[in-house]
Amino acid sequence: MSDENDKYVKLVSLEGNEFLMEKSIAINCSEMLRGMLESNFKESQDNTVRFPEISAPILEKVIEYMYYKVKHEKSSGKIPQFDIEPEMALELMLAANYFAV
């Protein structure tokens, strides 16, 4: 059970929506998450990070981008475009700055 808990991290949005993602991806894609999950912060103990200022659709898109980034980081061919809806662009820029992705 402990190994399974250590494999994933739970990200919680402003509305309380919970998203599970692989902890290794979170740590490799975000300086902020790495700092929280590899330290003595509470988040590293319960593998849960709360984002009281990030809405569920934005948090979901950030997670989607982290998986996209890892999937294509060693690609030598043409990388498919990562689609962002125009109405999300500003909030995503703010979130990306926060996550340092």
Look up the CATH number of the domain holding residue 27: 3.30.710.10
Q: What is the per-residue pLDDT for 57?
A: 97
d(CA 25, CA 73): 12
In the chain, the number of structural domains is 1
Q: What is the per-residue pLDDT for 3?
A: 58
The pLDDT profile of the chain, 101 residues, written as one tens digit per residue, is 455 668 999 999 999 999 999 999 999 999 999 999 999 889 999 999 999 999 999 999 999 999 999 999 988 889 999 999 999 999 999 998 888 75
- CB contact set of 91 (below 8 Å; sequence gap of 6+): 55, 58
Q: Range of 16's domain? A: 2-99
- 22-38 CB burial, b ≥16 within 10 A, e <16: ebebbbebbeebeebbe
100: left (phi over 0), alpha (psi -120 to 50) or beta: left
